[in-house]
Structure 1
């Protein structure tokens, strides 16, 4: 069966404030979960910090994959992006959910993308892309129209 793919020519916008808030929401969810996890099942160290070892040490990685990469692959956006009204799509404009590889690449270097480097790239690249978007060949578009 031939499936008609919807490809749209899209003009991107920096949306730095919205993108920052969306990322902040996502990482509040991830880090909030981690704090609760470490306090509830972690062992307190002599300096007052908490640590997790053994198989439970994989829980934070699995949670990150589910909440960040998994959401983009299954729902089409992370929780933060859904709330703010943003959606990552392939750079060719095809309106589809990202693949696992695209989403993983987008978020693998999030720590750099939340630094001034990410800001400078979004402001100075033709399609307003950060490091992860450049590597994954993705762009971020608005999903809701303002003022309508």
Structure 2
């Protein structure tokens, strides 16, 4: 079992269990079933012959409509990771998530790099396949090209199996890894918070905090809360108010206030 070691600001080493190739492969399959279901739904709902008639069989107009209809499939992994905090539906079902190798939440740029480099991990040989197929194939060459197609799909698989941190090319370039969420104790020690999809934030000014600020706050908050160090909690709350300009409501305790700040920070920075 491979693990990722993260050192917190309090010099505490956290070990994350890496998502294994079986978990990632099954999540990949689930995501592709979802995409296939969408494609089948589009084919059933839309009469493409009517679209051709409406556009006067104009090639570029038809292609433009095709692109629009299939954009959700093309960008599925990208917008899912961004909107669901490092998870697609497949990853959510398998309880795995993308994080930065330092334990931070990946930036939007990181997600874009991971998504774009899928062309190497999964689709490079597919492009070769499409190019050769467009030139015309004989029955004898079709089997060879199909084999190339399958090999291309396996590049990402072998990268995950053979690399030290179970990283495909996109992960290496974006400095990300995929970890299991089953170890909630370790996961809770990072700045990442599990928040519900219908969560309503309270303090918009938390965006003034950096990832490192949030990590220091969470480390200090967790330690002080566990030790019932109320003096430290008061100082931490005052520091947060000073930096962000947020004021704690009279009805909130210092513990509830800081917990809300951490959840709000995750809510705003995961979108």
Please state if 1:33 is matched with 2:43: no
SS at match of 1:54: helix
Is the radius of gyration larger for structure 1 or structure 2? 2
SS at match of 1:144: coil
Matched with 2:92 is 82
**1:70 offset after TM fit, Å?**
1.9
**1:141 offset after TM fit, Å?**
0.3
Matched with 1:101 is 109
Equivalent of 1:72 in 75, 81, 84: 81
SS at match of 1:126: coil
Cα-to-partner distance string for 1:64-118 (whole Å, 9 max, x where unaligned): 43x4222211221111000001000112222x2x333222222234365352221
Using the size of structure 1 for normalisation, the TM-score is 0.72
**Paired residues of 2:80 and 2:88 also in contact (CA < 8 A):** yes
Please state if 1:121 is matched with 2:131: no
SS at match of 1:127: coil
RMSD value, Cα: 2.8
**1:14 offset after TM fit, Å?**
5.5
Q: Which runs of 4+ in 1 moved over 6 A?
A: none
Using the size of structure 2 for normalisation, the TM-score is 0.42
**1:132 offset after TM fit, Å?**
1.5
Bigger proportion of residues as helix: 2
In structure 1, the gaps of 5 or more residues are: 1-5, 46-51
**1:62 offset after TM fit, Å?**
3.7
**1:19 offset after TM fit, Å?**
0.3
Equivalent of 1:137 in 175, 200, 203: 175
Please state if 1:23 is matched with 2:28: yes
Aligned length: 132
> In 1, Cα distance between the equivalents of 2:165 and 2:44?
42
**Paired residues of 1:102 and 1:137 also in contact (CA < 8 A):** yes
